[in-house]
Amino acid sequence: MSSEQIARYIVGFSWLYHGIFPKLLHVAPLEKAMTASLGFSDEISYLITKLAGLGELIFGLIFIIFYKNRTVVMLNIAGLFGLLFFVAILQPQLLVGAFNPITTNIPLIGLSFILLGRLQARE
């Protein structure tokens, strides 16, 4: 398997996993805390979390299928930076814990830049 394919599947799998397990199948306590910090009621926060999980699931599939599309890769990078920024502003204490957004998002962004480099090399 090429490094391009490894990057493709790692990034795509990450979106799928983070959409399905801590949001759709079971709303994880950290997910509850993050959406609750937006100031919405518990019901609205739950709905936002479920919709975010569905969005992540859909984007993960889109990424796996269309990883050669520059716009999809750029949206991925923007989304990962956006989510990192969201955590940094609303729940900064999460940035110092184990398996935090810095140790997950930054490597995924790096893999995305590798994919962008491959795309540019083909042009």
pLDDT given for residue 85 in this prediction: 97
Tokens standing for residue 30: 């950290």
CB 109 within 8 A of CB 101: no
Q: Which residues does the chain have with pLDDT short of 70?
A: none
pLDDT for 123: 84
